[in-house]
Structure 1
Amino acid sequence: MYRWTSFALHLCPKLNFRSTTAATSTRTFVPLPPASSFTLIWLSLLLFTTGRATGACPPRAGHEPLQGVESGINCSWTLERHTRSYNHLEGDVRLRRLYSANKFFLCIDKSGKVDGTRRKNYADSLMEIRSVSVGVVAIKSVSTGLYLAMSKRGTLFGSVKYSPSCKFKERIEENGYNTYASLRWKHGGRQMFVSLNGRGKPRRGHKARRRHPSTHFLPMLPS
């Protein structure tokens, strides 16, 4: 009776409890609350039991409840915002032309040769940039179907087959340009970058540095 009374008081603080004193003993009589109060108590118990049993957070207005949350974990809605703010980018595809800070467009011809061109609408310079994981991309020439790849020695070439040598870490630098470093290969523990020199020729990956203009590329929308 004590637990029920405390719970009822917690849910229905306005209930009017009265006590009567008998001649022989003192007893506390709690009048039955109205039917609406019973309904409120029953619904509260049902929601509490259901939430604990399923491990779900109570639904927010206009949202579905979060499922699969273990008991004891804070059901703050910042978790929901965090999940929506950092969606996985795998499978994202962009059509771009990679324009270097040295004013050349990166291109891959049918023979697999990687070069730079100043021709804005050159077919071999249109690239399909696909996110294979967060921050990692694969770059493929749309016209030739060859993937941009880097060898162990840091040489750029066009590969018919997709392989780990075709994966590059894409990073946006402070000047707004992107750099592309080989995910697989390093030279002396240092990253090797995709690079075009002042004549539009590819440089060995280990000869380029992140701050060199030759490694900076601006992904441009095709016109």
Structure 2
Amino acid sequence: MCRWMAPVASLRPDLAAIGTAHAGLPPLPSAASLRLAFLTLLLVAGTALGGCPLGVGHEPLQVLARGINCSWTLERHTRSYNHLEGDVRLRRLYSANKFFLCIDKTGKVDGTRRKNYAESLMEIRSVSVGVVAIKSVSTGLYLAMSKKGTLFGSMKYNPNCKFKERIEENGYNTYASLRWKHGGRQMFVSLNGRGKPRRGHKARRRHPSTHFLPMLPS
């Protein structure tokens, strides 16, 4: 079994001279073979510790020199919320004012106290992260908001039908128009104390009229 010896030239010049004077000594390994052995050892150790394999995007020397955490690099790319897109929930939006949001076949948005009213059953679909489209299952109309903050039912899905869904501290959800704002302020889906839709620019996030609880259909 051969024993590897460090290059004597890197230790002391006088020892290097003595080493080269004896022809009986084994030849010293070349720089290329040393580098290959080092890389092989590094790859074996990296694999055993859960490090980066070749081809991930970092050379072994770069990983060692820069201290790159390979597992974090891979994990970062898997932390995607794209799986939420297309997620569909059947819910009834129950307001803090004790009304269920509904859309009738004429496109009128209103509130009802009837728990199992057909026009209050909504299909809430995630269209992007934190953004949803709300459609009445009974009428097939989408909840939409105009530039003036008026709620209405739209036959076709369009940018007016996108709402930012946010869970508030009290556990209720708020729905703000993604497309329209008024004076830089968000405009919210809102039902007043009589169950009538309130203009988006008159609603505020803290108002109970803008708070909705998505309830499972019974």
Three-state SS of the structure 1 residue aligned to 2:73 is helix
Q: Structure 1, unaligned stretches of length 5 or more?
A: 8-20, 33-39, 49-56
1:113-144 deviations in Å (ceiling 9; x for gaps): 00011111111111111111111111000111
Residue 25 of structure 1: aligned partner: 21
Alignment of structure 1 residues 122-133 onto 2, 5 Å: 122-133=117-128
Residue 77 of structure 1: aligned partner: 71
Mapped contact 2:81–2:129 kept (Cα < 8 A): no
Residue 222 of structure 1: aligned partner: 217
Mapped contact 1:195–1:215 kept (Cα < 8 A): yes
Q: CA deviation at 1:65?
A: 6.2
When the two structures are aligned, how many residues end up with a matched partner? Answer: 193
Which structure dedicates a bigger proportion of its chain to helix? 2
Q: Name the amino acid aligned to 1:29.
A: L
1:21-48 deviations in Å (ceiling 9; x for gaps): 89x923583599xxxxxxx959927958
Residue 170 of structure 1: aligned partner: 165
Over aligned residue pairs, what C-alpha RMSD do you find?
Answer: 3.7
Residue 14 of structure 2: aligned partner: none
* Identical-pair percentage: 74
Three-state SS of the structure 2 residue aligned to 1:181 is strand
Which residue, out of 178, 183, 186, partners 1:188?
183
1:92-116 deviations in Å (ceiling 9; x for gaps): 1111111100011100010000001
Residue 97 of structure 1: aligned partner: 92
Mapped contact 1:137–1:168 kept (Cα < 8 A): yes
1:191-221 deviations in Å (ceiling 9; x for gaps): 1000000111000000000000000001111
Residue 40 of structure 2: aligned partner: 44
Mapped contact 1:58–1:66 kept (Cα < 8 A): no
Mapped contact 2:133–2:162 kept (Cα < 8 A): yes
Three-state SS of the structure 2 residue aligned to 1:211 is coil
Q: Structure 2, unaligned stretches of length 5 or more?
A: 8-17, 29-35
Query: TM-score of the superposition, structure 2-length normalised?
Result: 0.74
Mapped contact 1:59–1:66 kept (Cα < 8 A): no
Three-state SS of the structure 1 residue aligned to 2:70 is coil
Q: 1:44 to 1:155 in 2, by over 3 A?
A: same
Residue 155 of structure 1: aligned partner: 150
